[in-house]
Amino acid sequence: MFNPASDTTWIKQRVHQVQQYHELDQCCHGAELIKEAKDVFQLTGDFTVLEVMIRAVKDKTCLLHSITNDVKAKRHLVGMTSDKVESLRILTKCRALIDWLKLNIKDVKELNVLAELAMSSAAGQGDLEVERVLCLLAAVNGYAPFIYNLPEDADFKHFMKLCDHIWRALASDKNLPKKLVCH
């Protein structure tokens, strides 16, 4: 027979599962954006952990006992601030620019050389042209891991590792996403 005074384990377990669900719900926007980036960049790696998390949140009929600490994607997404989400949103919107950069500029070193040339030729044209070159240079340097180190077969773990590099760049330059679209 059930004795509520002596058996509180199940209550603690359910409270923990409800907390897990709320944390998952808060991470869902970032997760959906990462899934969109996966689709936009046509990544073929394993994003199953992300899909499981999205499904757990979207399925409003999901049973509490199915929500466990095993939702591994959550630990990567808990710290996704609105700035980080915005930086990924801009990244997916700039797919054409990123493809162009990959095709025409082999790495950041080559971009720096081109930027120096552009700066010297823009010097007589005014501050606006110089500012545009500086914007592009800052954006490509900040997003370089995605531009140059994102293989087609990248999985969720690799994707998030590249995000960490962008988060660090974003921490030192809050305008990084705007700089990617300033051209």
Domain-embedded: residue 4: no
Could you give the count of Cα atoms lying within 13 Å of 35 in the half-sphere of its Cβ? 15
Domain-embedded: residue 83: yes
Question: What's the domain range around 120?
Answer: 9-180
Domain-embedded: residue 60: yes
Domain-embedded: residue 3: no
CB 31 within 8 A of CB 48: no
What's the structural domain count of the chain? 1
Domain-embedded: residue 43: yes
Domain-embedded: residue 80: yes
Per-residue pLDDT of the chain (183 residues; tens, 9 = 90+): 556 555 678 888 878 777 777 776 667 888 889 999 999 999 999 998 888 778 777 776 565 555 555 456 677 787 888 899 999 999 999 999 999 999 999 998 999 898 888 888 877 777 888 888 889 899 999 999 999 999 999 999 999 999 999 999 999 999 999 999 875
Domain-embedded: residue 1: no
Query: Cα separations (Å) of 22 from 17, 31, 40, 57, 59?
Result: 9, 14, 28, 9, 13
Closest to 69 in 3D by CA, of 112, 105, 16, 142: 16
Domain-embedded: residue 37: yes
Calculated CA dihedral for residues 164, 170, 140, 151, nearest 10 degrees = 20
Cα–Cα distance, 27 to 85 (Å, whole number): 10
